[in-house]
Structure 1
Amino acid sequence: MTASVPPLRPPISLLPVQQLTRLEDGERLHSLLWQAGNGWRMISSAVLGGGIGVRSWVLNAQVSHGYQRTDPHRHLAELAREAGAHGPGVGLMTAADVRAYGHAHDGGAEAVATAGLGVRGWAASPRQGAALAPTPGTINIVVALPVPLTDAALVNAVATATEAKVQALLDAGFDCSGTPTDAVCVAARIPDSDEELHAFAGPRSLWGARVARAVHHAVGAAARL
């Protein structure tokens, strides 16, 4: 008798997202919430919880196309509290329907992306820049890594994720580098006292390569939805 081989179990997700729905000014809007919990350091360009620090959740909230609030950080904090998220976290927003998200993993790195591509273009533009309040539209990328990174490697991971985003857009047939309001968040584990920190996250480093592939797949999936 031949022993049966049990099927491979799917990997436990580092980045499980919860889909939420709310009614706001008569419009049904959606959000993605990752309740990361304790043990994470995050780097983000988000309007809420941006910079580098200990964070325990990430909210990616859909807002209306005519969004006019001038306090998006307060709005996101309110939405997070209503969703049951407590403590410091990261808040992203977009006019895209976040239910159409891409989710990919590679070698332990995991990425979730939403892609609002209504207003897109190239980063280097002849237009003069202006200090305006964030507007919805937006490609939002969240990455989770099961290992600790140095501050420099966290910055490097943001650059790697951004490069992979542009590659994914071009591969999906979009003639652009992104939107004017793209945001990114990279989460890495807080190290134990004797745990070595990874110092590199460029696209040819071990974890940077995994970040690049995960983001490429997630953004590509979201852009095609």
Structure 2
Amino acid sequence: MTAVLPPPRPPVAGLLRVQHLTRVENGERLHALLWRAGPDWRMISSAVLGGGIGTRAWVLNAQVSHGYRRTDPERHLAGLARDAGAQGAGVGLMTAADVRAYGHACDDGVEAVVTAGLGVRGWAAAPAESTVAPVRPDTVNMIVALPVALTDAALVNAVATATEAKVQALLEEGYDCSGTPTDAVCVAARTGPGREAHAFSGPRSLWGSRLARAVHGAVRGAASCAP
């Protein structure tokens, strides 16, 4: 069994200062990470709670049981966030991985926090017959924060850039896969009066390249201690 390493801690002055939460469900001790982003953040996410594009004030990445059977994950995540005191609209992610073993990296103002459960993994363009088998909720969850505003198109492009960086990191860590069937992402960009919205976030753009390097480092950190 791979040892769970103590999680690296974001710098005090960083954007992504996550809070570790603990709860007990059905006799099992579970963990979560909560980022209280606050106002003036516009996010894009594939999450079941708060997915799409919009103004969001927090991001919750909650560990759930490997035997998770609830059919209302959106309500479940909203309740966990409410119990933690999160206010306003937010994003809720879930994973069967122990989120205490997260990876954190930054690159010139862009920060990423990643949790990785890689027990079930494969390639996105797998044969059709492989998509019908039930899978455990092992997941790679990525949360990225940029200190600048992005247009809607650039937010979409940022998701693609983050995904490319994730695959590169997994391959470099020795995982022959593009991820897991349930990977999720949340990219947060600053907003507010007087902020110029950047139109590009591909891997060779100024902010996209920084995003890619931050995600790459955080995924490698999380994957290195994944079970």
Normalising by structure 2, report the TM-score: 0.91
Matched with 1:210 is 210
Is this contact kept in 2: 1:48–1:76, CA < 8 A? Answer: yes
Decide which moves more: 168-177 or 119-128: 119-128
1:149-193 alpha-carbon deviations (Å, 9 max, x no partner)? 00000000000000000000000000000000000000001132x
Which structure's CA Rg is the greater one?
1
Matched with 2:146 is 145
Distance between the aligned counterparts of 2:144 and 2:130, measured in 1? Answer: 28
Matched with 2:89 is 88
- The verdict on how the C-alpha distance between 1:135 and 1:41 changes in structure 2, with shifts beyond 3 A counting, is farther
Residue aligned with 2:124, SS: coil
- The verdict on how the C-alpha distance between 1:33 and 1:132 changes in structure 2, with shifts beyond 3 A counting, is farther
Distance between the aligned counterparts of 2:91 and 2:135, measured in 1? Answer: 15
Matched with 2:18 is 17
Matched with 2:120 is 119
Is this contact kept in 2: 1:104–1:217, CA < 8 A? Answer: yes
- The verdict on how the C-alpha distance between 1:173 and 1:26 changes in structure 2, with shifts beyond 3 A counting, is same
1:63-102 mapped onto 2 (5 Å cutoff) = 63-102=64-103
CA RMSD across the alignment: 1.7
Distance between the aligned counterparts of 1:72 and 1:167, measured in 2? Answer: 30
Residue aligned with 1:66, SS: coil
Q: What is the count of residue pairs matched by the alignment?
A: 215
Distance between the aligned counterparts of 1:132 and 1:78, measured in 2? Answer: 30
Matched to 1:152, the amino acid is A
1:86 deviates by 1.1
Matched to 1:198, the amino acid is H
Distance between the aligned counterparts of 2:82 and 2:156, measured in 1? Answer: 28
Residue aligned with 1:191, SS: coil
1:160-199 mapped onto 2 (5 Å cutoff) = 160-192=161-193, 194-199=194-199
Normalising by structure 1, report the TM-score: 0.92
Matched with 1:6 is none
Residue aligned with 2:186, SS: strand
